[in-house]
Amino acid sequence: MTAHLFVDVEVKHPLLMLLYLLLVAATFCLFGFIVGIWAKGFEQLQVIPLLIVTPLTFLGGAFYSIDMLKEPWRSITLFNPVVYLINGFRWTFFGTADVSFPAALAATFAFFLACAGVIWWIFRTGYRLKQ
């Protein structure tokens, strides 16, 4: 909505964009919960965003098309989960992406299920909850 103040932006698939946004938000909330339980202090809490999430974002095609990369770098980039998050949003906004939307949706949902599984295990075992 803020972008409409500056440029004319058309969202190709607004309903899918909203649903995908909710899936990504829920996934990152679950991931943040896992990191919060794992971290023993504020310093350790910053390790994951600083050393893992930020580099994956910059290497995930947020600022460039991964189709510009030569092999084997393009294939290696496809192992980055952030590529699928970014390309899912890119497809919902513009109708085009480096990775198909079903693949992006499947990868994001798999990451969601993995995070939910880890949280289920944390609650089941009481990992770092019981003291």
Residue 103 is assigned to a structural domain of this protein: yes
Asked if the model's pLDDT at residue 128 lies above 90, the reply is no
Residue 130 is assigned to a structural domain of this protein: no
Instruction: State the pLDDT confidence band at 73, using cuts at 50, 70 and 90.
Output: very high
Range of the domain at 53: 11-125
Residue 1 is assigned to a structural domain of this protein: no
Residue 3 is assigned to a structural domain of this protein: no
Cα end-to-end span (Å), the chain: 46
What is the per-residue burial (b if ≥16 Cβ within 10 Å, else e) of 45-54? eeebeeeeee
Instruction: Dump pLDDT digits (tens) for 3-43.
Output: 778 988 888 999 999 999 999 999 999 999 999 999 888 88
Residue pair 21/86 in contact by the 8 Å Cβ criterion: no
Residue 48's pLDDT is 87
Asked if the model's pLDDT at residue 57 lies above 80, the reply is yes
Residue 45's pLDDT is 86
Q: In angstroms, rounded to a whole number, what is the distance separating the alpha carbons of residues 89 and 15?
A: 12
Asked if the model's pLDDT at residue 131 lies above 80, the reply is no
**Among 30, 31, 20, 26, CA closest to 89:** 20
Asked if the model's pLDDT at residue 86 lies above 90, the reply is yes
Q: In angstroms, rounded to a whole number, what is the distance separating the alpha carbons of residues 91 and 13?
A: 8
Residue 120 token pair? 């289920």
Residue pair 82/60 in contact by the 8 Å Cβ criterion: yes
What domain count does the chain have? Answer: 1
pTM of the model: 0.86
Residue 4 is assigned to a structural domain of this protein: no
